[in-house]
Amino acid sequence: MPLPSAGVFHPDWSQHHRPTAVSAMTSTCTITRAAGPGTTAPDGTFIPAARDPIYQGACRVAVKGGSAGSNERRVISGERQITEREYLVQVPDSAAEIKVGDLVEVTTSADPTMTGLKFRVSDVWHGSQSWARNLGATAALKGE
C-alpha cells in the first residue's frame, strides 16, 4: 500500500520509458487512411479512394499470441479462401491518431520477409500507462 501522499507511479513514468520502447522499434512503416469512400465506375468496377499518409517512421511488428500458426484463421472472400494472421504493431505513443481500418505497410525491417507486408488495423489499444501505441493488425497471407 503506498503512502497516502504518494502515487504508485511517478507522474512522468510513461514519458521516462518511451525512449526505451522506441529504441526497440527496429522496423519502419507507413500508415495510411482512405481519403474518401471510393467510387464505382460505369462498368461496376469499384475504384478505391486515394490514401492519405497518417504516420511514417519507426515501428515494431510481432506475431500476436506467440506462434505464427496459432493465430491464423481462414475466411471466405468472394470465391476465394484467404488465410489471415493477427499481429501486434507498435508505433511511438506520439504518433497521430490511428483508427481501425487504417493500412500499415512495413517499409524496412531486419527481417527481409517483413518488408512490404501489409496489415489492416483491427484494434487500437489505449492505456493510462503507455510506452507505445499498440495496434492489433490483420495480414491476409494467401488466397486459394
pLDDT digits over 37-67, tens only? 889 999 989 998 899 999 999 999 988 776 5
**Tell me: the pLDDT tens digits for 8-27?**
766 666 676 677 777 888 99
Q: Which domains does the chain have, with CATH numbers?
A: 13-36+52-143 (2.40.10)
SS3 state of residue 4: coil
pTM of the predicted protein model: 0.78
Distance between CA atoms of 7 and 15, rounded to whole angstroms? 16
Q: What is the largest CA-CA distance in the chain?
A: 71
